[in-house]
Amino acid sequence: MTPDLIYGLTGIAVFAIGLVGALCAQDRLRRVLALKLCSVGAGFILVVAAWREPPASPDPVPHALVITGIVVMVSATAVALALIRRLQTLEAEADE
């Protein structure tokens, strides 16, 4: 097994775990975390795409893409967390 294959399979596995979590989890926070797992898995695949048999230097483009992806995901997570907090406040108000 070459490192890129291991890395790639891991990526797919991580994505799959995230997918199951996103679809099945009940807790709001867990679903956010599951989505984060998905994004990590997808990131793995892009990183693998950059891999080149040494001594060739890796392809820089996927690295740029992964960084962009991380930034996008960070902002998405922030929005999701903000919404969850807001919803909790609203629900707490309604219960009172």
Partner 1 sequence: MNNLMSLDPMTLALFLPLFGAMAAFIAPRAASVIGLATVLANLGAVGWLAFEIRAAAELITPLGGWAPPLGIALRADGLSVAMLALTGAVGLLVSFSALDALRDARQRQYFWPLWLLLLTGLNGVYLGTDIFNLYVMIEVIALAAVGLTVLSGTREAVRAGLEYMYASILGALLFLMGVGFVYLQLGRLDFAGLIAATPSAALSAALALMVVGLLLKTALFPLHFWLPAAHANATAPASALLSGLVVKAALYIFLRLSTYMPLPDEILVTLLGALGAGALLWGSVQALRAERLKLLVAWSTVAQIGLIFIAFARAGQVGLVESWKAAALLILAHGIAKSAMFLAAGRIKDEVGHDIIRDLDRSAIRPTLAQFTFALAAISLIGLPPSLGFIGKWSLMEGALQAGYWHWVVATMVGTLLSVAYFSRVFAGFLRFDRMQGALAEHKGWALADLAPLTLALAAISLGLMAAPILSFIELGYPFGAMP
Q: Which of 7, 10, 49, 63 contacts partner 1 by CB under 8 A?
A: 49
Tell whether residue 91 is a contact of partner 1 (CB under 8 A): yes
Q: Taking CB under 8 A as the rule, does residue 17 contact partner 1? A: no
Interacting residues with partner 1 between 61 and 90 (CB under 8 A): 61-62, 64-65, 68-69, 72, 75-76, 79-80, 83-84, 86-87, 90
> In this structure, are residues 22 and 76 in contact, taking their beta carbons and an 8 Å threshold?
no
Stated as kind and residue range, the H or E segment containing 87 is helix 60-95
Judge contact between 69 and 46, C-beta under 8 A: yes
Question: Interface with partner 1 includes 33 (CB under 8 A)?
Answer: no
The Cα–Cα gap between 17 and 6 comes to 16
Q: How many helices (H) and strands (E) does the chain have?
A: 3, 0
What residue spans of 25-59 are helical by DSSP H? 28-50
Residues in the site for partner 1, rule: CB under 8 A? 8, 11, 15, 18-19, 22-23, 28, 31, 35, 38-39, 41-42, 45-46, 48-49, 59, 61-62, 64-65, 68-69, 72, 75-76, 79-80, 83-84, 86-87, 90-91, 94
